[in-house]
Structure 1
């Protein structure tokens, strides 16, 4: 198993789909945290701890904190002097960021935004390329062929090594692969869906044929459903929690919706598993992570 000498031998590395790229079984992402909920020093400390534990995979997106999350990650890489070849860095394009004054053409999966958005992300990250580049959502206003060609252009230009999708459905991924095969181009190597004990159908059922037919890899997010599955929010929103201190975006909407019908349903499900965790002598977080660990890579 390829790993630099400073990495922990306890960390597991897995091939991403059918590719030859090895990623740590655990990655560290900058969603709703870096550039928003926590300061740079906290972000640097987290990234350093992750790297020292053997994590080589760091995930970001142009839309995270309007690009500020990418800036923080880029600063950390420079600060610690990490070798680029020891890292797997990913980012995602779709939502746009603060680099454009006009929202027109500064979002989506058009050739224009994919290329310009990727170049802007690389500047924020202070990198020449990313290892993984995702289409952060499907864009049903842009022909799939345009998106596939643009992603291949970015790979051929050396600005990304592999491309994939995030929160696409199985039909959309299959369409992208059919287009790529017809044009003799590279298809999406990986998908990044939400996957946890309470959200399993897409990963465990819908994508089944994609694993078999295309060797689709997964880099899932929110295995603890933004901390909800740990029981942290069972009795309210702690003042030091990410949801409480977030300035804007997804976690703010969570804070505003706390107590609604869906929140209560989720909390009831989490609370119902407390006796199971206690019987097994495990924390709720451990139970939820290992209860949804059948992730096909």
Structure 2
């Protein structure tokens, strides 16, 4: 496993990390989820990402149980706060001081630890003053409940404002968690350069584009049984926009490129994400342990320059690069 500094901080994370969005407590049963976590540990992965909202808190509990008994100092446990949890009352969401304070305590109980290594704002909260949010995060750090603070899907302007307040309040804002893959590159023009300037590292999710970049979805064929596209509990909606003939045809053209590199298509996708120097870690999920091991094997693989060019040529205009889409995932009004 390759290890990288998280932004300009002293914290190192595994280049390939393990995340349980849409799997633990949802698509994957608890015992199978624990087997996948064990496979991640066996593959050298030390960084585990979750969120309180995943499966409405169940995913955190399963991850905590799966990691019980492991040496805590050898792990980096990451979780998030923002989206509704519990009965979804008016204060069960957002980045208010109340919700952050209550959420970190609940996350720690579920994860079975006295601190998380990184506590992340799952989105930007347009309904809470940024000063209130950052002061609450500062308290979380000073109380020893989190070592570092991160954000997810923030715009360059939001990153700058948050970073300035973090400096003023003297706590480390070190990461951003955006979606990033061969087909979705909206962070490249502004978010990544801004983050590099501020010392913020990218912990990216969906490096395999919800499984589309594995090549398992074929033109004219139904989605494979058990795949994300058949997950009616929520996973299918995230992959549907990519299941069109043009995108799938272009993705299929990546197969000989991967073979030339001696990689599977999934490994090619992960290695491609990690070729961006602004990326500290790529979050991969899995429903089977062999997927975990295969994804982890992409760490440390350097793609040839001609391979990067060939990927761009194969995907063409199927790639979304519009930087104006950054931040659109943050609701303009608080969810309830």
Match 1:54 to one of 40, 44, 51 = 44
User: Where does residue 106 of structure 1 map in the other structure?
Assistant: 92
Output the CA distance in 2 between the equivalents of 1:272 and 1:288: 13
1:286 corresponds to which of 267, 271, 289: 267
Alignment partner, residue 233 of structure 1: 217
Measure the CA separation in 1 of the matches of 2:139 and 2:188: 29
SS at match of 1:106: coil
Instruction: Spell out, residue by residue over 1:59-102, the C-alpha distance to the aligned partner (whole angstroms, 9 max, x if none).
Output: 10011111110010011122xx101111110100001222xx35
Residues 222-265 of structure 1 deviation map (CA, whole Å, 9 limit, x = unaligned): 11011111111223211122332x3523x14247xx4x687444
1:128 to 114, 119, 122: 114
Q: Are residues 1:199 and 2:184 paired?
A: yes
* RCO comparison, higher one (Cα < 8 Å, 6+): 2
Q: Aligned residue for 1:208?
A: 193
Matched with 2:173 is: 188
Q: Is the 8 A contact 1:37 1:247 kept in 2?
A: no
Tell me the TM-score normalized by structure 1.
0.86
- Alpha-carbon spacing, 1:186–1:164, altered in 2? closer, same or farther (3 Å): same
Distance 2:30 2:217 in 1: 25
TM-score, normalised to structure 2, is: 0.76
**1: distance between equivalents of 2:184 and 2:210?**
13
Distance in 1 between residues matched to 2:210 and 2:216, nearest whole Å: 10
Match for residue 79 of structure 2 among 91, 102, 110: 91
The 3 A distance-change label for structure 1 pair 54 and 102 is closer
User: Are 1:193 and 1:203, in contact at CA under 8 Å, matched by a contact in 2?
Assistant: no
Unaligned runs of 5+ in 1: 1-10
SS of 1:148's equivalent in the other structure is: helix
Is 1:65 paired with 2:65? no
User: Structure 2 unaligned runs (5+)?
Assistant: 281-336
Whether contact under 8 Å (2:52, 2:81) holds in the other structure is: yes
Cα distance change, pair 265–135 in 1 and its aligned pair in 2 (3 A): farther
Query: Alpha carbon RMSD of aligned pairs, Å?
Result: 2.0
Count of residue correspondences: 276
Aligned equivalents of 2:72, 2:233: Cα separation in 1: 32
Structure 1 residue aligned with 2:204: 220
Partner Cα separation in structure 1 for residue 171 and residue 242 of structure 2? 43
2-structure distance, mates of 1:19, 1:284: 32
DSSP 3-state at the match of 1:207: helix
272-281 vs 37-46, which moves further: 272-281
